[in-house]
Amino acid sequence: TQLLEQSPQFLSIQEGENLTVYCNSSSVFSSLQWYRQEPGEGPVLLVTVVTGGEVKKLKRLTFQFGDARKDSSLHITAAQPGDTGLYLCAGFGTGNQFYFGTGTSLTVIP
């Protein structure tokens, strides 16, 4: 099993603040995905990163894949209440499996 640890587990911030969520592993993944899940819904794919060192931007969200493809970060600039949700990272690894992180629950207070 290839484990992914996310930190922090819970995060509560004021609207307008910046934040970073981390996804770390000792295993190498061929690609890594980030999802956001809202209560009562399924996870929605935000981005996939493939190349070590890759940076992708999605409006106020910046995703980075570590050089060694073992870790990733998600940075949100000027957080808004609509960013509230559970953020999940998932690495694609051995056995054609997607290995999910432990999740980060984000609350943005208006």
Interface residue list for other proteins (CB under 8 A): 30-31, 33, 35, 40-45, 48, 50, 86, 88, 90, 92, 95-103, 105
Among the listed residues 15, 10, 4, the one whose alpha carbon sits nearest the alpha carbon of residue 76: 15
Cβ-based nearer residue to other proteins, 14 or 96: 96
For residue 108, the surrounding DSSP H or E stretch is strand 104-109
Cβ-based nearer residue to other proteins, 43 or 66: 43
Cβ-based nearer residue to other proteins, 16 or 106: 106
DSSP summary character for residue 70: S
Residues 92 and 101: beta-carbon distance below 8 Å: no
Cβ-based nearer residue to other proteins, 16 or 52: 52
One-letter amino acid of 17: E
Smallest separation, CB 31 to other proteins (Å): 6
One-letter amino acid of 88: L
Smallest separation, CB 97 to other proteins (Å): 7
Residues 41, 43: Cα–Cα separation, whole Å: 7
Smallest separation, CB 95 to other proteins (Å): 6
